């Protein structure tokens, strides 16, 4: 079964934050350029699958794998659009991730074998970036961008493609990691065997104690019930606290849409041409 881990990631420095914003903005620029060409082809009655080689145009900024993931995501969106039309649904073609004038929606996709997620006392995730960004921000040829992970992901399994979004309102980067969890595993976050065993022993002990008390009379049993109930009731979680201002927030609750962010550095497209969307 498929589950999704949702957590916040935090750059370790101001330069790392600018690098990550540049990476997400370049991904949005790629999507918009590719999507513009496909929309024009669609409205002209032409095939949308014969496009320019945008992977080659963006490889130096995003890296080959990340550029390919954005292209595949766009292709999947168009395939879903055509499938919906065949089913008689009245739906619009895939849209843009914002625009240069009003701000792009900043997000990117990292292939499942291109990032490393480590959890523990100092949880972190490392993602690839293109050589142009490495040179711009002083990273070595084999270096990757390291981000702090706030909190502990719930699900453990085979990792899928990582999506990173920027929420400008909260100034927070959120990551969404789909994982494949074995069907034999319970539909809940993992718990340690020690904790499970301890809970089972408590329940057995409580049941035995309750059986011994059963013959002491109805009134006494009622008093015992009201006396013991607080000790065995389920502890309810407290209210969800909102993320604090600043990108140092912890795990994000729910999957909110990415917001826009204007980047003056991308006044032109990566291939040197004027952006069309």
The pLDDT of residue 184: 65
The pLDDT of residue 182: 86
Work out the average pLDDT over 92-109: 93
* CB 175, CB 250: distance < 8 Å: no
Provide the 10 A C-beta neighbour count for residue 135.
11
More confident residue, 231 or 125: 125
pLDDT, tens only, 6-27: 999 999 999 999 999 999 999 9
Percent of the chain with pLDDT over 90: 59
Question: pTM value?
Answer: 0.68
Distance CA 30, CA 96 (A): 10
Angle, helices 14-43/64-86, rounded to nearest 10 degrees: 40
Percent of the chain with pLDDT over 70: 66
Work out the average pLDDT over 16-43: 98
Q: Which residues pair with 107 in a beta bridge?
A: 165
Spell out the domain ranges in the chain.
Answer: 2-186+245-266, 193-232
Look at residue 105 and tell me whether its pLDDT is greater than 90.
yes
Work out the average pLDDT over 243-270: 39
More confident residue, 44 or 192: 44
Q: Quick one: tokens of 40?
A: 């024009």
* Mean of all residue pLDDT scores within the chain: 77
Question: Among 70-74, 119-123, 213-217, where is mean pLDDT lowest?
Answer: 213-217
Look at residue 153 and tell me whether its pLDDT is greater than 70.
yes
The pLDDT of residue 152: 79
**Token pair 């996709």 in the structure block, residue:** 109
């Amino acid at each position: 079964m498929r589950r999704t881990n949702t957590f916040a990631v935090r750059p370790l420095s101001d330069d790392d934050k600018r690098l990550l914003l540049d990476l997400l903005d370049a991904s949005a620029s790629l999507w918009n350029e590719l999507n513009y060409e496909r929309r024009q082809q669609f409205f002209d009655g032409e095939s949308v699958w014969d496009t320019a080689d945008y992977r080659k145009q963006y490889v130096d900024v995003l890296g080959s794998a990340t550029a390919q993931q954005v292209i595949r995501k766009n292709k999947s969106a168009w395939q879903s659009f055509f499938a919906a039309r065949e089913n008689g649904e009245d739906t619009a073609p895939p849209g843009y991730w914002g625009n240069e004038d009003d701000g792009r929606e900043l997000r990117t996709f990292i292939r499942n074998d291109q990032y490393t997620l480590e959890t523990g006392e100092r949880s972190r995730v490392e993602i690839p970036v293109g050589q142009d960004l490495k040179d711009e921000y002083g990273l070595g040829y084999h270096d990757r961008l390291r981000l702090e992970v706030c909190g502990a992901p719930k699900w453990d399994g085979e990792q899928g493609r990582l999506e990173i979004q920027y929420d400008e309102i909260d100034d927070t980067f959120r990551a969404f990691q789909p994982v494949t969890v074995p069907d034999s595993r319970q539909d809940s976050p993992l718990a340690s065997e020690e904790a499970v065993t301890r809970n089972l022993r408590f329940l057995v002990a409580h049941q035995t104690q309750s059986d011994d008390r059963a013959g002491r009379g109805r009134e006494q049993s009622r008093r015992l019930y009201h006396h013991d109930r607080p000790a065995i009731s389920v502890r309810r979680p407290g209210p969800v606290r909102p993320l604090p201002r600043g990108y140092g927030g912890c795990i994000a609750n729910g999957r909110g849409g990415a917001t826009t962010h204007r980047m003056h550095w991308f006044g032109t497209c990566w291939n040197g041409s004027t952006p069309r969307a």
